[in-house]
Amino acid sequence: MQSDTVKRLAHECGFELAGVARAGPLTGDYALYSTWTAAGMAGEMRYLTDRRAEVRRDPRNLLPGARSVICVGKLYNQPLPERREGHAVFSRYALGRDYHDVLREDLERLAHKLAETAPHEWKICVDTAPLLERSYARQAGLGWIGRNTCLINEPLGSWFFLGELITTLELAPDSPPPDRCGTCTRCIEACPTQAIVPRDGGWTLDSRRCISYLTIELRGAFPEEQRGVLGSHVFGCDICQEVCPWNARAPESSDPAFAPLYDPAPPLEELAALTPQEFRRRFRDTPVMRTKYEGLMRNVSASLQEPCNQMHEQQDA
């Protein structure tokens, strides 16, 4: 089977980006990952540091006999909601249906379409699988990894969900594109918590400082030194993508699955009054469920204690 056929079928299944990487270890990238976790930058995300860390060394640990990794990208960009004082900010990726379900459904379709022509074994990976997905996406030609650690595609930008289909099919691999961040440091300068830090002559993300980590992954109370950094963010943060020049003309998703299922900028006071039942009713089937009711209430409470536009005043400065 030709790689062009794979890409055509991937587009038919709703993916804007598609490419192929070899199913083998990426020694350099895994070494960087290991030093990143050893430095404690994964914070409390133990799924990145436990026994699954070793599985990430080679995709054949997930599917013995794998020969190729079909990497796909699905656009989720939505119009930027109006920013108003006293109103919450949700990351754009969290406004619609849970992307795990959407991408898995589309990857299932792709796997079966491929099997109609060339029988194969496969494993679907969407975000939670122990795989260095950005590294394989880069190898598959989908984009380069920017200073903000997002995969950036020229000319479509970085508002993409990534997914992978590990397969026993032998497919011609694509080539990684050049890094086109150049001397730009807008994401570094715009980050209100200085989460993008220097490392080994380059840059990496210290998750422990990242607003997305603090509002989604961190459990329990905020450490004292991290209180007051959220601005009006209650779930995730898009600042480093919003200031990226490659997103200046990024297209918006036409997939109805990612259309907002709730008010993307509700008053903070309204959120603070939600009951657990109202939380589940409003955010059911969306990524916001990951933070749970207690987590969202913690985030809203922290935001109400700070000037709500503080983060975006820094961004626009």
The residues assigned a catalytic role are 127
Which residue type sits at 75? L
Question: Under 8 Å CB-to-CB from 251, ≥6 apart: which residues?
Answer: 75, 77, 156, 157
Phi, psi (deg, nearest 5) at residue 277: -65, -40
Q: Is the CB of residue 168 less than 8 Å from the CB of residue 67? A: yes
Q: What is the 3-state secondary structure (H, E, C) of 129-169?
A: CCCCHHHHHHHCCCCEECCCCCEEECCCECCEEEEEEEECC
Q: What is the DSSP letter of 225?
A: G
Angle value at C-alpha 70, between 136 and 241, nearest 5 degrees: 50
Q: Classify residue 160 as left (phi > 0), alpha (psi -120 to 50) or beta.
A: beta
- How many Cβ atoms from other residues are within 10 Å of residue 35's Cβ? 13
Phi, psi (deg, nearest 5) at residue 125: -125, 125
Q: Is the CB of residue 130 less than 8 Å from the CB of residue 53? A: yes
Q: Is the CB of residue 103 less than 8 Å from the CB of residue 161? A: yes
Q: Is the CB of residue 86 less than 8 Å from the CB of residue 231? A: no
